[in-house]
């Protein structure tokens, strides 16, 4: 596996592969790999001739009071895991390389970025879109893989790719859960053992709404109440940032729930802010 922190040499390598007729898949990450990242690497491996994984904790997507400084990192373990999973090139740029002194161009998709996570993280998706577009321009991938755990992020990146005619196919990878149902996330490492045990209730609450939907309930307000009541009883230490039932593509609230309606939520538990989503059907 090649490892490079230099955007120019990664650009040259990817261009050489493509010139030789080889397709390139990119998996953008912030590292501290778990099975969710591994599943994206494996899907990329199946789809393309060459797999590039970027590992960059992108400062521009963190707000001033957020966890940039404490975001979990383990570059050695990440290197080993990328190597074991058939990655051809690990791109590990520094902040200075990605954001040189006079950096001044930003990309955003306001229509989809101001809702859900965007309400508490108003600059987050602008940072995500900007770094992802930079990664696309450096790696020129045919395919780019993003986890469905970040449903809003995936939706925004698909919109950006379509709006800007980017020559890349955006592929969503299924959300990977721990055995007890907690969505895998690097930020789960912030949880104390007690909080970690309780965190399984987040997805259980969503399952409770699925069961109610399967029994015939179609009112989004009632399904939301069903989830909030479940959490009140089973996750009293959690603080709900938001919970919404939305259209999977437009992210607009759907008062009348359908099979493809997406339940999307963020819940604070201890030091962690945990996101999850699930379709009703
Ligand atoms: O999902 C993430 O890990 C990040 O938001 C991404 C897409 C790598 C951009 O920094």
Residue 61 Cα: closest atom of ligand 1: 10
Instruction: Examine the domain organization and report whether 8 and 109 are in the same domain.
Output: yes
Q: Whose CA is nearest to atom 1 of ligand 1?
A: 29
Residue 46 belongs to domain with CATH number = 3.40.50.620
Instruction: Examine the domain organization and report whether 167 and 190 are in the same domain.
Output: no
Q: Whose CA is nearest to atom 7 of ligand 1?
A: 28
In the reported structure, the alpha carbon of residue 111 is separated from the centroid of ligand 1 by a whole-number distance in angstroms of: 19
Collapse the DSSP code of 231 into the 3-class scheme (helix H, G, I; strand E, B; otherwise coil) and give the result.
Answer: helix
Pairing between β-strand 239-246 and β-strand 262-269 as defined by DSSP bridges: antiparallel
Instruction: Examine the domain organization and report whether 165 and 190 are in the same domain.
Output: no
Angle between helical axes of 220-234 and 193-214 (0-180°, round to 10): 150
In the reported structure, the alpha carbon of residue 236 is separated from the centroid of ligand 1 by a whole-number distance in angstroms of: 30
Which residues are tagged catalytic?
A: 37
Biggest distance spanned by C-alpha atoms of the chain: 59
Are 62 and 127 in contact by the 8 Å Cβ rule? The answer is yes
Are 262 and 134 in contact by the 8 Å Cβ rule? The answer is no
What is this structure's pTM? 0.98
Are 274 and 200 in contact by the 8 Å Cβ rule? The answer is no
Tens digit of pLDDT per residue, the chain (281 long)? 999 999 999 999 999 999 999 999 999 999 999 999 999 999 999 999 999 999 999 999 999 999 999 999 999 999 999 999 999 999 999 999 999 999 999 999 999 999 999 999 999 999 999 999 999 999 999 999 999 999 999 999 999 999 999 999 999 999 999 999 999 999 999 999 999 999 999 999 999 999 999 999 999 999 999 999 999 999 999 999 999 999 999 999 999 999 999 999 999 999 999 999 999 99
Q: Select from 122, 141, 173 the last residue of a domain.
A: 173
CA distance 117 to 114: 8
Q: Whose CA is nearest to atom 8 of ligand 1?
A: 29
Collapse the DSSP code of 169 into the 3-class scheme (helix H, G, I; strand E, B; otherwise coil) and give the result.
Answer: strand
Judge whether 178 lies within some domain: no
The secondary structure element, H or E, covering residue 117 is: helix 117-120
Instruction: Examine the domain organization and report whether 78 and 103 are in the same domain.
Output: yes
In the reported structure, the alpha carbon of residue 137 is separated from the centroid of ligand 1 by a whole-number distance in angstroms of: 16
CA distance 86 to 89: 9
CA distance 51 to 57: 19
Tally the domains of the chain. Answer: 2
Residue 236 belongs to domain with CATH number = 3.30.1300.10
Are 203 and 227 in contact by the 8 Å Cβ rule? The answer is no
Q: Which residues pair with 172 in a beta bridge?
A: 146
CA distance 79 to 84: 9
Q: Which residue has the tokens 């090139």?
A: 89
User: Token pair for residue 212?
Assistant: 């109610």
- Domain of 263? 186-279
CA count, 13 A, side-chain hemisphere, 101: 0
Judge whether 180 lies within some domain: no
User: Token pair for residue 101?
Assistant: 């002194």
């Amino acid at each position: 596996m090649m490892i490079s922190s230099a955007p120019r040499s990664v650009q040259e390598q990817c261009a050489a592969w493509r010139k030789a007729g080889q397709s390139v898949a990119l998996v953008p990450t912030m590292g501290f790999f778990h099975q969710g990242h591994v599943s994206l690497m494996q899907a990329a491996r199946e789809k393309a001739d060459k797999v590039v994984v970027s590992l960059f904790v992108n400062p521009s997507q963190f707000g001033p009071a957020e966890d940039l400084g404490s975001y979990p990192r383990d570059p050695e373990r990440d290197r080993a895991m990328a190597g074991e999973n058939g990655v051809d090139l690990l791109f590990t740029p520094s902040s200075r390389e990605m954001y040189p002194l006079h950096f001044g161009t930003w990309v955003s998709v306001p229509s989809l970025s101001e809702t859900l996570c965007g309400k508490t993280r108003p600059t987050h998706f602008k940072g995500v879109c900007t770094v992802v577009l930079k990664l696309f321009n450096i790696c020129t991938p045919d395919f780019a893989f993003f986890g469905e755990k970040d449903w809003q992020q995936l939706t925004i990146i698909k919109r950006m790719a379509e709006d800007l005619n980017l020559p890349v196919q955006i592929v969503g990878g299924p959300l990977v859960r721990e055995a007890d149902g907690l969505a895998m996330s690097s930020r789960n490492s912030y949880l104390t053992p007690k909080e970690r045990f309780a965190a399984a209730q987040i997805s259980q609450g969503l399952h409770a709404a699925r069961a109610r939907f399967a029994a015939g309930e179609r009112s989004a307000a009632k399904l939301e109440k069903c989830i909030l009541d479940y959490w009140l009883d089973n996750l009293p230490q959690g603080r709900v940032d938001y919970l919404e039932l939305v259209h999977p593509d437009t992210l607009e609230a759907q008062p009348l729930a359908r099979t493809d309606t997406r339940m999307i939520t963020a819940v604070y538990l201890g030091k962690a802010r945990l996101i999850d989503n699930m379709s009703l059907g």
